[in-house]
Amino acid sequence: MIKQLLILGALALATTTAIATPDEAMGKAGCMACHAKDKKVVGPAFKDIAAKYKGDKEASTKLTEKVRKGGSGNWGPIPMPPHPAEKINDADLKGAVDQILKTQ
């Protein structure tokens, strides 16, 4: 019984610590090398991304796909590299995109 409780406790701890805060996830994935909250760096400012997608009910899905696949042309000629799940997992990516879309 105690062994089962220890295993369950370890699983619960692993589950709760697997998801980083959006800021941690974006830092680890390298997003902050090209983006900032309120100014253009290499890529657009998060506030500009949020403004562009304001009111778009599909924004989260569109941005998640764009981050996964990478691309260029929407914000200028410099391409954004793809960010596969090995670089940022699905839960962390969702949190990061949701935070970006709330940026003012």
Could you list the mean pLDDT of each consecutive 10-residue stretch along the chain, which spans 104 residues? 55 56 94 96 96 97 96 91 95 97 95
State the pLDDT at residue 8.
Answer: 53
Helices marked H in the chain — which ranges?
2-17, 22-29, 46-53, 59-69, 90-102
State the pLDDT at residue 15.
Answer: 46
State the pLDDT at residue 33.
Answer: 96
pTM: 0.79
Residue among 38, 64, 67 at smallest CA distance from 51 = 38
What's the CATH number of domain 20-102, 3.90.1170.50, 3.50.50.60, 1.10.760.10, 1.10.3720.10? 1.10.760.10
* Residue 83, token pair as written in the block: 């960010």
State the pLDDT at residue 16.
Answer: 46
State the pLDDT at residue 87.
Answer: 94
* Residue 56, token pair as written in the block: 């778009």
State the pLDDT at residue 20.
Answer: 85
